[in-house]
Amino acid sequence: MSVLITNVGKVKVVNKSNDEFMTNADLRLQHYFQNLLNMVEKTSKSAEDSILLAGAMMSVARVVYYDTLGPQQGQQVMDNNVADFIELIKPTIH
């Protein structure tokens, strides 16, 4: 596993072993993800810039989902993404 350290924190990037199969879509997604992180690194001069850029990326994602999948399915994808995000950042109560 490799860890990419950015000005917005650490991002773990899991490298698949040779015996695991990565589809073309997996490889493209990994490439796009890395390119977006690189763009944030190169263009953000502050934490506020990074947050604004992330918000812009989310807005673009919504437009693409709606244009490609239609309003109902696009909203379902957005709802699922928000639910996944909330689960990711939800504090653990001990």
Quote the CA–CA distance of 43 and 39 in Å, as a whole number: 6
Q: CB within 8 A of 57, min separation 6: which ones?
A: 36
What confidence score (pLDDT) does residue 71 get?
92
Nearest to 54 by CA among 74, 40, 35, 72: 40
Q: pTM for this one?
A: 0.60
Helix (H) or strand (E) holding 44: none
Which residue matches tokens 């504090």? Answer: 91
Mean pLDDT by 10 residues, the chain (94 residues): 51 53 81 91 92 90 92 91 74 54
Cα–Cα dist 36/93, whole Å: 32
Closest residue by Cα to residue 53 from 41, 63, 66, 65:
41
